[in-house]
Amino acid sequence: MALRIEVDPEKCMGGGNCEFWAPKTFELGDDNISHVVDPEGDPEEKIVLAAQGCPTQAIAVWRDDERIA
C-alpha cells in the first residue's frame, strides 16, 4: 500500500534536502519546489527521514489514515 505524501508548496523553500534522502520519491522542480514523483520510489524509512529532515516541515506522510511523519 503506497504512502500518501504531500508537499506544502507554501512552506517548501527549495534546497532539495528531501531529494537527497529519497531521490526517487521527491524531485525539485524548475519552480524550486519539491514534487512527489513516486510515493513508492524509496523505502518508507527513507521517506520518513526526508520528511523529518525538511527544514520547514513542508512534508506530510500518511500510511492509511495515520500520519507517520
Q: Give residues in contact with ligand SF4 (CB under 6 A).
A: 7, 12-18, 28, 34, 54-56, 58-59
Least distance (Å) between residue 18 CB and ligand SF4:
3
Least distance (Å) between residue 69 CB and ligand SF4:
12
Going by their DSSP bridges, the two strands 59-63 and 26-28 should be labelled as: unpaired
Specify the residue, 6 or 40, whose C-beta has the smaller distance to ligand SF4. 6
Specify the residue, 14 or 43, whose C-beta has the smaller distance to ligand SF4. 14
Q: E strands along the chain, which residues?
A: 4-7, 26-28, 34-36, 59-63, 66-67
- Report the C-alpha dihedral over residues 10, 25, 21, 49, rounded to 10 degrees: 70
Least distance (Å) between residue 32 CB and ligand SF4:
8
22 is written with which cell numbers?
A: 529519497
